[in-house]
Structure 1
């Protein structure tokens, strides 16, 4: 038996994955994730969204973290930290 494609509305998809409807809508409109329009509703392909979310990270390696996160020197009661 063939697998059926699951399509949910933007709001239902956002709730399912814990992201805002704004970001889901943005990704659908710019082609980041597969979506279709039916009337005034946009439906998201959940398999495609899951593949996108599982295949991307914000930071790929530790060197990038070290270049982004820098210590901030502070002065506490006359002591430099």
Structure 2
């Protein structure tokens, strides 16, 4: 998920893009941008970087184990008499 600092930064950038004629409502717009972004992002099916890294490590271990088992099966198949 996007952290608060990144969300604050994005909201500020959007508020900075507001035309000069609307500078009086800039702070209110920035808060509204932040609320809308938070709401939209919360509906997305996102995972944290930590959770992603954990799952990536699990996948790497699984892939390594699969390769080991495939090699072992190939060796055992060599021991079988020809069909």
For the criterion TM > 0.5, the same-fold answer is no
The alignment's TM-score, normalised by the length of structure 2, stands at 0.28
Tell me which protein shows more strand as a share of its residues: 1
Larger radius of gyration: 2
The alignment's TM-score, normalised by the length of structure 1, stands at 0.28
* Structure with the larger RCO, 1 or 2 (CA within 8 Å, 6+ apart): 2
Tell me which protein shows more helix as a share of its residues: 2
